[in-house]
Amino acid sequence: MISEEALDAYRIDGTLLRVVRDANRDNDVRGFVVAWDESSVLIRKRSTRRLVKLDRRYVYQPASEERVLPPAIAGAIGEEEEAGE
């Protein structure tokens, strides 16, 4: 889960974030942190300026960085590839 300090830094700096929700890159949300509580984060989407409420357990990273899969998803993908061999 992302920390209060990291969310506050992203909000103050106006950092464009990528929120990785699953292995499919098309399901990523890109936007800016607006607000948060103990279980969710409010993101203003860059393209439509709409607000999206997302779980804090997702991976939040600057959009300028390389996309990182959550460890649980990355492990599941690795297991599928091994089973297919």
> What pLDDT is stored for residue 46 in this prediction?
81
Domains of the chain: 4-84 (2.30.30)
Phi, psi dihedral angles at 41 (to 5 degrees)? -130, 135
Contact between 40 and 54 under an 8 Å Cβ cutoff? The reply is yes
Q: Mean pLDDT in runs of 10 for the chain (85 residues)?
A: 95 96 91 96 90 94 90 58 46
> What pLDDT is stored for residue 83 in this prediction?
45
Q: How many CB atoms lie within 10 A of CB 28?
A: 17
> What pLDDT is stored for residue 45 in this prediction?
93
What pTM did the predictor assign? 0.80
Phi, psi dihedral angles at 43 (to 5 degrees)? -115, 130
| β-bridge partners, 32 | 44
